[in-house]
Chain A
Amino acid sequence: MEEVIRFALLGLGIGATYALASQGLIIIYRGSGVLNFALGAIGMAGAYAWWELTTNQGWAFLPALVAGIAFSAIIGGLVHLLIMRPLRQAAPLVRVIATLGVLITLQAIAILRYTATSKFVPSKLPTDIVHIHNTIVISADRLILLGIAAGLTLMLWVFYRYSKFGLATAAVSESERSASALGLSPDMIATLNWSLGCGLAGLAAILIVPIVTLQPAVLTNLVLAATAAALVAGFRSFPIALIAGLVIGIGQTEVTRYVEQTGVGTAVPFVLIVIWLVVRGQALPLRDYLLQRLPTIGSGKINKGGLAFGVVVGVFLLSALTPIWIDAVTVTICVAVILLSIVVLTGYTGQLSLAQFAFAGFGAYVAGRLLATTEIPFVVGILIGIVATIPLGVLFGLPAVRTRGINLAIVTLGLGSAVELVLFGNADFTGGFGGTQIGEPVLFGLNVNAASHPTRYGLMALGCLVVVSLIVANLRRGRSGRRLIAVRTNERAAAALGISVQGAKLYAFAVAAAIAGLGGILLAFRTTSINFSEFSAFNSITMVAYAMIGGIGYLFGPVIGATLAPGAFSERLLNSIDSGIGKYVPLIGGVSLIVLVLVNQNGIVKEQIAQIAFLRSKLAKLIPFLGAKEPEPRTLPAPTKEGTVKVESMALEVTDLTVKYGGTVAVDNVSLMVKPGQVLGLIGPNGAGKTSLIDAVTGFTKMAPGSSLKLDGKDISGWSAVRRARAGMGRSFQSLELFEDSTVLDNLRAASDPRDMGSYARDLVWPKNVPLPDTVLSTINEFELEEDLDRLVEDLPYGRRRLLALARAVATQSSVLLLDEPAAGLGDTETAELAHLVGRLAKEWGIAVLLVEHDMNFVMSVCDELVVLDFGRQIAAGKPADVRNDPAVIAAYLGEEEDDATDGSASGPSPAGISGQEGV
């Protein structure tokens, strides 16, 4: 027991350092919503400044300390002003990459100036041993560090809770717009928080360096553990971060002491991250989840001429260049394969994974160990290595079901780190002193050893790149690709269309893992003795950076991004100009990354496409055949059946539905029934609970016990949103939630595609689109969308987008449609047309429609019956004429609307309806 306590005390020292670092992360996150991966590097800069002043300039400790902290604070403020502020509307991925650029740049500067050699720094704190009991001892400086961490935590808690600045920070983190309306400057507050957080990192670094030595990565290595502590604290609570940091430190120490397996102790924070996020996560994002736009994606169409040209160039380079250059081209190709996995996972599916290099390493590990220890042929070993990575991908993808955005990034980084620590860095698993020797690889009887036959190996890698590119292109163009993009753009809308968000994410992780595994095998097998140390977790971050630079949504983006990897084409080119440039490559890379992220978040390829198109248009005047071909006019087939399409008749029965948000009852025992061919209107003042009811009925919000939901007589109360959608229940959203990056036709196809699992495999090879069902063809006719089919949704005017939202819901061939304010923002004429349309959907198609609307003209003209809610309770139900005369209804809602209608003036939606803001 004494031993346990002793090691727990030792862990407190480590935990205090984690806690200090995590406070800085929290301050910055609270003030600006950014997870600052560069925090450690900025703190390191302050530590070096302090060391420079005390060691080389002879300053006393305290003034140098203040200067060091100020240095970090200034860097933090500048980073926010110059980099993060211009990126405030950018996607989380982009902002993470920007902080990575800062990290790389600062570390490169430190190495250039001070080298990577560790420097011993004597402690200014007392280091006497404090005896607590028998063998339980701790050095005084650890206790002081603990005291500083606790004291700072208290100060921060008080400061952010009671000071004006703290309250302003809280306001800004809740709502920037509202805070601005109150006269607060979100930019100023964010800048000050960045300065404060980075200053704190500087203090942490200066205090820590006597313990861990002064070196460029001094705090960066702590960032992951600090992130774990900050995550547990919800990036909000300083006291919880302190406790979490201490618990992590103690946990690591105890595990390291009692578990002999290498790396397990160090992996403790990462496991904690995963567990915490998965337990607290949400299967689907909440209604107010900000859907920040990811960089654009390509169409997946293969330019055959371009592909042929690329292959010819590749073959030429691999045949004609000297071995040094061939190796550089080969490395570029191998990394490009890995980056294609990021296109699938992050580009197409929107999952921010920082584990691709872990997958790459795992593929190399399995294939390498098999070839080193058995007699299986080379090709078989590779195939097994690729396939073995798939379950790992699925495993890593499981947390993605309940986490998203930056949280998912941290989870995957943590899992990748754990794989690196426990597997790649463990000699017991990698072959001991003998390592992993795979011998000379032979492919179809040909020796393809990269050392002796660099051209052959390069051609093999090129062949793999072409095949993988075609697979990814097929995926993009097929049904699977539409599902992934739907999930990427809007998980709620995807679920409402019956797309299994969970299935799509796991599929994406599986495919991406397999592709990365192949890339890792190609990269590692360039030598016959496999070195797993290159598959480090942080390299996964740089891989995402390269993918972003090239274009994370484009097939050719990886090829461009891969040229920046270590040992790849760009480095070879720079070294050939002057071998002394090599030492500046990391610095050039870091600055380039920042600039590229600021200038073009969509990547170089997007710019290239635009430039090529411009060039073609100019050259076409001289050489006509160079001009872009006019797309052939799309002709839709006629419906297979004559006359109106009828859907399967189903009734929706809601009994005693209650919805609670914490202590607030949003919907209180509401019962209603929607019959086939009927339009039931659900009306009520703002905050009455209408949208909450729709969310609950469609499975996006939990119903309280006692609520009952039946569809066509079947009890579906416990069904997920996806299952309800597939059973025949469709909906539209107040805020449209269309797939903006996709065309109108793709939106409709996403809604109507069959949901078979087979397409996940088939699309990789043969992405065949099924003919559009009659419902969709009729929908296109009905909504007059023929001319818009190939237009991107983001290019449509508002009215057309409203129509498309409804059309998409109809395209799901649902028997029951729940429409949430479909006319919001429309003018009188458009509203009237829409009302007519809704009426026809019910009367002619047989759909049961539940309609939420504020526009009383619309409601009165199309609804067969009405239900009125007020403060979550049903206050009236019946025919429209009866309801509008009900005194309770008049009092609660209809009074001012009736006056407007009497005046004959157009009664558009209420201001609340236009804004789409709905209370609980």
Chain B
Amino acid sequence: MKQHARSIAARSKWPFLVMFAIAACALVFAACGGSSSSSSSSSEATTEEGGEETVKGEPIVTWTYTDVNTEGPQYKNIEETERVYQEWINTHGGIAGRPLEAHFCDAHGTPTGISACGREAVAGGAVAVVGNFTFTGDAIIPILEKGKTAQWGNCCAIAPTELTSKISFPMGNQPLYSVALVHKAVEDGCKNINGVIIEGAEAFEPLMENAAKAEGTKIGKFVTLPATAQDYSPQVAEATSGGADCLVMVVSETPYIAWMPPFAQSGSKAKMYGPQGNFNENAVKGFAEVVEGDVDAGMYPDISTEAWTEYREALKKYEADPAQDYNSLGGMGTWAAYEGFKQVVESMSGKVDNETFLKAAETAKINLPGMVPPLNMAENWGKTGGPKGFERLVNRCAVYSEFKEGKLVPLSKEFEDVSEIGGGTKPMDCGPPFG
């Protein structure tokens, strides 16, 4: 009886043993193919690399956060850019002669994750959090406010508090690129414009409608695209119905990938206008003919332009992950953010910490020709009569690219102001031509 009971017990252990074995194999299988992403804490750069002398001394500490290990959109290009910038700047004189110690925090796409990043940054003595992006920015702003730590240089403020909080200093123009899209569509002669908006981004619609009105036209209809990728044939049919000749789209990259096949199959000749970094080469892969001449509006000139030469060199030299897209809001935005941060720090005298940086940022003037228009943080939209809810926006200038044989090529040779059509305020100085 005991023997029998033992053998039953032994048999019943079999499924667990096999399962543990399978779980172990799964871990190995997943690890083998997966990229090695790590929330790497950068250490002080003190050793020589490749013959170039690295800067020594008390480091300037920053934090950069974004979502990498998440089931939602991932922005490893931001993490990589932060890494290569640190390596590059520390072999090119540092920041105000001091090495940069840039930490990266993975927010995992959740409010609790981003809160933890904020607390880490404040506890870690960050001078500022630089060049970040997440959809759940609202969860970090209060923490940074309490910690008197600036959120500097975001390309794409998306949470309401990122556009209103006194510690937020975005350098990008989100959400005004949607206004720029409408403006370009009208300028190109579109007569029958429909809007396509990803679920959750409906708040862009009033801005676009106001822009259309300011341009003397209107958006025919808005079609909402479900956020989860699915068969978008019905949405394509609806958006292209009624003879629409142009589609102005606020859609992120993943839905774009699912949008392209039914759009191509529909045979529609409507011209698409989409946001930089989302309506990109990856999204339209395999549909070069379909998107020929279609337009991107964004905030940063194409990475091929001269202003990004050092960025391109740094990506190559420090072996950035080639699978990532750096000709994007995340990649260029983070580089530009760090360059802007450098300018602010180098304009300061005395102690550099979170509080002194915050004070300096409030009146900082950023001059990065060809990357961003001249930015005067003291003249944000809140101070210049802009609409409520967008007080912290400084950059109200846009640039355009277009698709040629499946590749994005720059259209703009200068930044173009959209303050007037976006919010009815006087234009800002978008600086000299850069191309």
Contacts and interface: CB of A to CB of B under 8 A. Distances in A.
Interface string A19-58: 0000000000000000000000000000000000000000
Contact of A324 (B12, B37, B116, B233): B116
Contacts of B22: 78, 82
Contact of A435 (B116, B119, B138, B199): B138
Nearest to B387: A433
A432 B203 contact: yes
Of A112, A129, A262, chain B has the most CB atoms within 10 Å of the CB of A112
B39 A579 contact: yes
A256 B33 CA distance: 39
Contacts of A262: 199, 202, 224
B261 A123 contact: yes
A109 B139 contact: no
A215 B113 contact: no
A800 B323 CA distance: 72
B288 interface: no
A584 B265 CA distance: 40
Contact of B23 (A222, A575, A591): A591
B146 interface: yes
Contacts of A116: 70-74
B19 interface: yes
A86 B12 CA distance: 9
A448 to B, nearest CB: 12
Given A434-B160, A529-B138, A567 B113 contact: yes
Contacts of B202: 262, 426-428, 432
Q: Is the interface of B mostly helix, strand, loop or mixed?
A: helix
Contacts of A533: 135-136, 200
B71 A217 contact: yes
Interface residues of A, number: 97
Interface in A207-256: 210-213, 215-218, 221-222, 253, 256
Contacts of A567: 110-113, 115-116
A139 B265 contact: yes
A32 B34 CA distance: 35
B234 A109 contact: no
Given A3-B241, A257-B238, A579 B72 contact: no
Contacts of B257: 118-120, 213
Q: Is the interface of A mostly helix, strand, loop or mixed?
A: helix
Interface stretch (A7-15, A176-184, A770-778, A863-871): A7-15
Contacts of A263: 199
A587 interface: yes
A331 interface: yes
Contacts of B74: 115-117
B19 A425 contact: no
A580 interface: yes
A256 B27 contact: no
Given A115-B34, A122-B286, A256 B234 contact: yes
Contacts of A450: 142
Interface in B192-226: 199-204, 206-207, 224, 226
A256 B229 CA distance: 15
A337 to B, nearest CB: 16
A479 to B, nearest CB: 39
A211 B235 CA distance: 13
Nearest to A141: B265
A139 B262 contact: yes
Nearest to A571: B112
B347 interface: no
Contact of A118 (B30, B34, B139, B254): B254
22 contacts: A86-B15, A105-B26, A112-B31, A112-B34, A113-B32, A116-B70, A120-B257, A222-B230, A263-B199, A328-B112, A328-B116, A331-B112, A435-B138, A527-B139, A529-B138, A531-B111, A566-B108, A568-B112, A580-B39, A583-B106, A587-B26, A587-B30
Interface of B: 12, 15-16, 18-19, 22-23, 26-27, 29-35, 37-39, 41, 69-74, 106, 108, 110-113, 115-116, 119-120, 122-123, 135-136, 138-139, 141-143, 145-146, 159-161, 175, 199-204, 206-207, 224, 226-231, 233-235, 237-238, 241, 253-254, 257-258, 260-262, 264-267, 285-286, 388-389
Q: Which 7 A-B pairs have the closest CB atoms?
A: A567-B112, A529-B138, A451-B142, A433-B203, A112-B30, A583-B69, A579-B39
